[in-house]
C-alpha cells in the first residue's frame, strides 16, 4: 500500500466565506473549487497549497455543514472550528482500504463513495488512528 501525498487537510468552520478569505488573504492560497457534497452534508471550498511529486495537488478543504444532522455539524457544535481530518492520496483506495481493514482498522465507507471533485474516498475511524479521522482519496 502506498500513500502518495497529503491530498488535503479538512478544516471545519461556521462561516465558509470568512474562512476562505482568511486563507486567501493571509496565506495567499488560491481558491480552486467549491462544491456541495450532499451525501456528506457539507459545503466545501478547496484551496491549493502546492503541487506534489505524483503530479496532483495538496490542498486545504474548508467545510461547513449544509444541515444540522450532518456529522460535521455535530462535531462543530461540540468542538468549534478547527482541523477535522487528514486525507492521504493513493492510486487505489479500494486496495488500500481492504488492506487496512484486514489489519483491523475500521473502514467507515465500504465500498468507498464519491467525494470532492468526483474522487473516490473512504475514511478510517479516528479511534483506530490515534485520534485522527483519516480519509483515503483516489482522484478520478
> Shortest CA distance to 80 belongs to which of 5, 15, 23?
15
For 13, the 3-state DSSP assignment is: coil
Question: Between residues 25 and 64, which has the closer beta carbon with respect to ligand V0V?
Answer: 64
Told to judge if 61 belongs to the known catalytic residues of this protein, a careful annotator would answer yes
Q: Are 86 and 132 in contact (CB under 8 A)?
A: yes
Site residues, ligand V0V (CB under 6 A):
10, 37, 40, 42, 61, 63, 71-72, 74-75, 84-85, 87, 108, 115-116, 119, 121, 123, 125-127, 131, 133, 135
Question: Between residues 62 and 87, which has the closer beta carbon with respect to Co ion?
Answer: 87
- Is the bond preceding residue 111 a cis peptide, omega within 30 degrees? yes
Decide if residue 10 touches Co ion (CB under 5 A): yes
All three cell numbers of 137:
482519496
Which partner from the list ligand V0V, Co ion, none does 127 bind, CB cut-off 5 to 8 Å by kind? Answer: ligand V0V
Q: Torsion over CA of 70, 74, 79 and 85, rounded to 10 degrees?
A: -30
Question: Between residues 25 and 128, which has the closer beta carbon with respect to ligand V0V?
Answer: 128
Determine the interface stretch with Co ion among 15-23, 74-82, 86-94, 96-104 (rule: CB under 5 A): 86-94
Q: How far apart are CA 35 and CA 119, in angstroms?
A: 12
Told to judge if 68 belongs to the known catalytic residues of this protein, a careful annotator would answer no
> Catalytic residue numbers?
8, 44, 61, 85, 135
Amino acid at each position: 500500500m502506498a500513500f502518495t501525498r497529503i491530498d488535503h487537510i479538512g478544516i471545519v468552520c461556521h462561516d465558509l466565506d470568512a474562512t476562505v478569505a482568511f486563507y486567501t488573504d493571509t496565506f495567499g492560497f488560491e481558491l480552486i473549487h467549491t462544491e456541495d457534497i450532499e451525501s456528506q452534508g457539507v459545503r466545501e471550498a478547496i484551496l491549493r497549497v502546492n503541487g506534489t511529486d505524483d503530479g496532483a495537488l495538496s490542498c486545504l478543504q474548508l467545510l461547513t455543514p449544509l444541515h444540522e444532522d450532518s456529522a460535521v455539524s455535530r462535531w462543530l457544535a461540540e468542538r468549534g472550528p478547527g482541523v477535522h481530518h487528514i486525507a492521504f492520496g493513493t492510486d487505489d483506495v479500494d486496495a488500500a482500504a481492504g488492506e487496512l481493514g484486514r489489519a483491523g482498522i475500521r473502514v467507515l465507507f465500504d465500498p468507498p463513495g464519491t467525494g470532492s471533485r468526483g474522487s473516490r474516498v473512504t475514511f478510517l475511524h479516528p479511534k483506530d488512528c490515534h485520534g485522527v479521522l483519516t480519509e483515503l482519496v483516489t482522484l478520478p
